[in-house]
Amino acid sequence: MPLLAIETTCDETAAAVIARSREVLSSVVASQEHLHARWRGVVPEVASRAHVDRIVPVIDQALDRSGLSIHDIEAVGVAVRPGLVGSLLVGLAAGKAIAAARGVPIVGYDHVLAHLYACRLARGEALEYPCVGLVASGGHTSLFRMDGPLEATRLGGTIDDAAGEAFDKAASLLGLGYPGGPEIEKAAIGGDAQAHRFPRPLAADRDRLDLSFSGLKTSLRYRVRPPGASGERPCPSGAGLADLAASFQRAVVDSIVAKVDLALEKTGCTTLAAGGGVAANTALREALTAVGSRRRVQVVIPPRALCTDNAAMGAIAWELLEGGHDDGAMLDVTPGTDRSAAARRA
Ligand code: KG4
Ligand code: ZN
């Protein structure tokens, strides 16, 4: 009997049906991108209202596609942290209602660890531990030493913006759409990544596994609108845009890869697991794979659809259930602070 996983941490309403073997029987993601595009960032109130509209149809669709009914569900897993509080509460309420009506266990799982669990799904078997875990998304850019799917020790990460947030803000500065990562990636095609020298703060600091993207964002801003320049300036286009996008993307990738490399060196781990929306970026995937080849480290990066938010990665709930967990009716959300609206607003 399978698990129903529910994901509403930010602006994706998602549900998946997952067998105990970790086989994903169905996975449905309803994106709200078009609702937030005009603000070039997630508007929390809009996100939670959209989750309310979508959660039941999305769960219905996931059940339909799995060929099962609600009566076949053995347990419920819900992403309860971190995320936007109003969004998280919608998924939690739906999950609790189903668990109570069906009399089955419910467990709350961590969205960030679930991003890494997507690597387990992609690999088809358990990862080798310990490993280094990189989560690069719109709300997080963190490096972990993983001693098991649920045992994470944070080694470092961004001290300001997340990598995805930097992509989103850069896209906004360049007059591109939302979400910014795929837009920058597209705009960068054919561009010269060496055309602009953008900063890679902390990249050379071998004592810390921390990263910073806010200076890079400011640097791009000054490149697009030099300080003191008066009047409106047209957004860059053509080769100018491609060079800016490619150089910016390269700076983000170099910053991340420098710290991943250092984390592998410091921990001696021979496996690297990478997840989160930014891990869908081709330049980053290629650079991480190159680090793996150089260090003879196994690199596991899920297919793109498992990098961006989804509920299939809620398969991590099986790890909790098999450990005997049942959070029951007292399950609550823990929003955290680092995915706050202010931090994500472009
Ligand atoms: O993991 P995710 O779907 O949601 C969060 O947990 O935040 O990540 C979304 C972030 C957005 O900032 C988006 O711009 C970025 O991932 N992203 C990308 C790409 N696809 C999504 N960044 C760079 N390149 C991409 N191809
Ligand atoms: Zn995410």
Evaluated on CA atoms 227, 185, 293, 151, the torsion sign reads: positive
Let me know whether 72 and 198 are in one domain: no
Average pLDDT over residues 271-284: 98
Let me know whether 102 and 193 are in one domain: no
Let me know whether 154 and 256 are in one domain: yes
Indicate if the pLDDT at residue 73 is higher than 50.
yes
Protein residue whose Cα sits closest to atom 8 of ligand 1: 277
Protein residue whose Cα sits closest to atom 14 of ligand 1: 181
Give how many domains the chain has, as a whole number.
2
What pLDDT score was predicted for residue 83?
Answer: 94
Residues whose beta carbons lie less than 5 angstroms from ion ligand 2: 137, 309
Q: What is the pLDDT of residues 88-99, one digit of tens each?
A: 999 999 999 999
The pair of structure tokens assigned to 260 is 């991943």
Q: Which residue has the higher pLDDT, 253 or 204?
A: 253
Within 10 Å of residue 76's Cβ, how many Cβ atoms?
A: 27
Backbone angles phi, psi at 270, to 5 degrees: -110, 10
The pair of structure tokens assigned to 14 is 């998602």
Q: Is the CB of 87 under 6 A from ligand 1?
A: no
Average pLDDT over residues 320-333: 96
What pLDDT score was predicted for residue 229?
Answer: 77
Within 10 Å of residue 74's Cβ, how many Cβ atoms?
A: 14
Let me know whether 55 and 74 are in one domain: yes
Let me know whether 149 and 263 are in one domain: yes
Q: Could you tell me the CATH number of the domain that includes residue 341?
A: 3.30.420.40
Q: What is the pLDDT of residues 235-253, one digit of tens each?
A: 899 999 999 999 999 999 9
Indicate if the pLDDT at residue 25 is higher than 60.
yes
Q: How confident is the model at residue 344 (pLDDT cuts 50, 70, 90)?
A: very low
Nearest ligand by distance to the CA of 276: 1
Pocket test for ligand 1, best of 39, 167, 216 (most atoms within 8 A of CB): 167
Let me know whether 96 and 152 are in one domain: no
- Of ligand 1's listed atoms, the one at least distance from the Cα of 164 is 12
Whether pTM > 0.85 for this model: the answer is yes
Of the CA atoms within 13 Å of residue 68, those in its CB half-sphere come to 21
The pair of structure tokens assigned to 269 is 């781990």
Let me know whether 88 and 221 are in one domain: no
Let me know whether 301 and 314 are in one domain: no
What pLDDT score was predicted for residue 228?
Answer: 79
Average pLDDT over residues 42-62: 96
Q: Which residue has the higher pLDDT, 67 or 232?
A: 67
Instruction: Say how many residues make up the chain.
Output: 346
Q: Is the CB of 82 under 6 A from ligand 1?
A: no
Q: What is the pLDDT of residues 144-187, one digit of tens each?
A: 999 999 999 999 999 999 999 999 999 999 999 989 999 999 99
In this structure, are strands 106-110 and 131-136 parallel, antiparallel, or unpaired? Answer: unpaired
Let me know whether 86 and 145 are in one domain: no
Q: Which residue has the higher pLDDT, 34 or 101?
A: 101
How far, in Å, is the centroid of ligand 1 from the Cα of 104? 33
- Of ligand 1's listed atoms, the one at least distance from the Cα of 115 is 1
Does residue 302 contact residue 275 with C-beta atoms inside 8 Å?
yes
Let me know whether 136 and 258 are in one domain: yes
Q: How confident is the model at residue 345 (pLDDT cuts 50, 70, 90)?
A: very low
Structural domain including 57 reads 3-115+309-345
Let me know whether 234 and 253 are in one domain: yes
What pLDDT score was predicted for residue 38?
Answer: 84
Let me know whether 242 and 335 are in one domain: no
- Of ligand 1's listed atoms, the one at least distance from the Cα of 12 is 3
What pLDDT score was predicted for residue 341?
Answer: 38
Q: How confident is the model at residue 343 (pLDDT cuts 50, 70, 90)?
A: very low
Rg of the chain's alpha carbons, rounded to an integer?
20
What pLDDT score was predicted for residue 41?
Answer: 82
Indicate if the pLDDT at residue 230 is higher than 80.
no
Indicate if the pLDDT at residue 33 is higher than 90.
no
